[in-house]
Structure 1
Amino acid sequence: MKLSILMPVYNEAATIAVAVKRVLDVAYPVDFELVIVNDGSKDGTHESLAAIDDPRARVITHEKNRGKGAAIRTAAEAATGDYMIICDADLEYSPEEIPGLLAPVIAGEAEVVYGTRTFGSHSSFSFWYVMGNRLVTTFANVVFNCYISDLETCFKLMPLALYRRLDIRSAGFGMEAEATGKLLRLGHRPYEISISYRARGREQGKKITAWDGVEALWIIARTRVAIRGKYRAGAA
């Protein structure tokens, strides 16, 4: 088994070198590769990425910023692993916890694994950020009649072929809602494992906004309606 770790990067000069080192230093129980997509950064990120000298890491460059979803799509197309996981370069997530997400897959207990964040006063960006995440997650649970704890988590582990099959089209942060909605549509119920999380603030480069939450709700609703349309067409 080989794991492809997909890292989208946009203006992360302050954290990218540490993020890459931490990913590469983890003792994974499987072979792995790190596929980095520099999504049109303008802040010196390119220089840090140019200094990477490790055969396990590859860097792909978007000349213009196209969004997280587009960067992950590029990385997934270039990846060569059996499984994939997304790992942002902002140090909000701990790559050292990725082996824990691999454990149920290796044991044959799961195919899709989500790292569920525990929000606390020391780890949350704001009250409204946490409430927005809970609203979006609850909405997905209602419309798909399921129960997941953290729809927006970055740590989504699944077969690379499955992610490609999802055909994610959202260019920005909406890719998280689209990926989860399509997984639920196909009948996949993620195996959830608790992970640590430390959100950064706007002054540190936090990019997600309230509009991204509204977009996520729309994407989930659109995905659910697409199912009903498919069933109607089949009945006809």
Structure 2
Amino acid sequence: MENSRNKTLSIIIPSYNEERTIVQILNKIISVQLIEQTQKEIIIVDDGSKDSTKELVNNYISSHPNESIYLIQHTVNQGKGMAIRTGITKVSGDYVIIQDADLEYEPEDYNLLLPELIYNQKKVVYGSRFLIKENKHSYQSFYYGGLLVTTVTNILFNQHLTDEPTCYKAFNSEFLKSIPLKCTGFEFCPEVTAKVAKYGIKIKEIPIHYYPRSINEGKKIRWTDGIEAIWILIKYRFTD
């Protein structure tokens, strides 16, 4: 039995030049009613944005005083992985999920992942874009690159994943904080997956929705990040 205290989901949002979508994603997040009266803690890490992201977030915080929203600022751009690591240090919730600052993922889907953490006591659960066939993908190179990274993950770590590079990775907070992360860029995904797998954990996946954006709309990941992801997986398979 869970104790009577309401649990809290900490939502880490690494942000870099996201003025076009940051307010919209925050509106989506605060409108979600989480299962079991789970509370929300929103941690935005502005990674040295050169646009108006941080001003928009500060204004949003001022206009929503009843919401638990916090802004942390990197004075210079350090990379998505570093932003996530900074966010992890500020987490006070029972569970953590990573949320991109764009609109590719649907915050309503938090309620699809939370049961695995709350009821089944999973330490980690991933949301898979590939388990809903209706989901579209922006570029064939990203689609096949994601499949390749996932296949390499499964071979190296004896997993049965369909979508290793997914953004929606959710964790028990204490467990995530115990993982010694070293990433600074997009390699957060393969590093945390490798290190979770080395604990002997079979990662559970849940189908989630996906609405991809284009490079012109601000998508930052590139095909070279897929090559780096494979290298990181190989590296952490044989080292700590």
Q: TM-score, normalised by structure 1?
A: 0.92
Q: Which deviates further from its counterpart, 119-128 or 136-145?
A: 119-128
Find 1:27's aligned residue among 18, 33, 38: 33
| Other structure's SS at 2:216 match | helix
- Give the deviation of 1:78 after TM superposition: 0.7
CA RMSD of aligned residues (A): 1.5
Structure 2 residue aligned with 1:16: 22
Paired AA for residue 174 in structure 1: E
Paired AA for residue 173 in structure 1: F
| Other structure's SS at 2:146 match | helix
Find 2:216's aligned residue among 194, 197, 203: 203
Structure 1 pair 163–122 and aligned structure 2 pair: CA distance change class (3 A): closer
- Give the deviation of 1:120 after TM superposition: 6.4
Structure 1 residue aligned with 2:154: 141
Structure 2 residue aligned with 1:40: 48
- Give the deviation of 1:40 after TM superposition: 0.5
Provide the C-alpha distance between the structure 2 equivalents of 1:52 and 1:167, rounded to a whole number of angstroms.
33
Paired AA for residue 6 in structure 1: I
Q: Which deviates further from its counterpart, 100-109 or 12-21?
A: 100-109
Provide the C-alpha distance between the structure 1 equivalents of 2:166 and 2:104, rounded to a whole number of angstroms.
11
Which whole-Å deviations, capped at 9, do the CAs of 1:177-207 have from their partners, x for residues lacking one?
1010111111111211100101111100010
Which whole-Å deviations, capped at 9, do the CAs of 1:92-146 have from their partners, x for residues lacking one?
0001110111012222253311100037687212111110000011001011122
Structure 1 residue aligned with 2:229: 216
Provide the C-alpha distance between the structure 2 equivalents of 1:111 and 1:46, rounded to a whole number of angstroms.
32
Structure 2 residue aligned with 1:92: 104
How many percent of aligned residue pairs carry the same amino acid? Answer: 37
- Please give the residue correspondences for 1:1-236 in structure 2 after superposition, counting only pairs within 5 Å: 1-29=7-35, 30-53=38-61, 54=64, 55-108=67-120, 110-118=122-130, 123-226=136-239
Unmatched tracts of structure 1, length 5 or more: 228-236
Unmatched tracts of structure 2, length 5 or more: 1-6
- Give the deviation of 1:147 after TM superposition: 1.0
Structure 1 pair 106–120 and aligned structure 2 pair: CA distance change class (3 A): closer
| Other structure's SS at 1:17 match | helix
Structure 1 residue aligned with 2:4: none
Q: TM-score, normalised by structure 2?
A: 0.90
Paired AA for residue 38 in structure 1: D
Provide the C-alpha distance between the structure 2 equivalents of 1:161 and 1:34, rounded to a whole number of angstroms.
17
- Give the deviation of 1:149 after TM superposition: 1.1
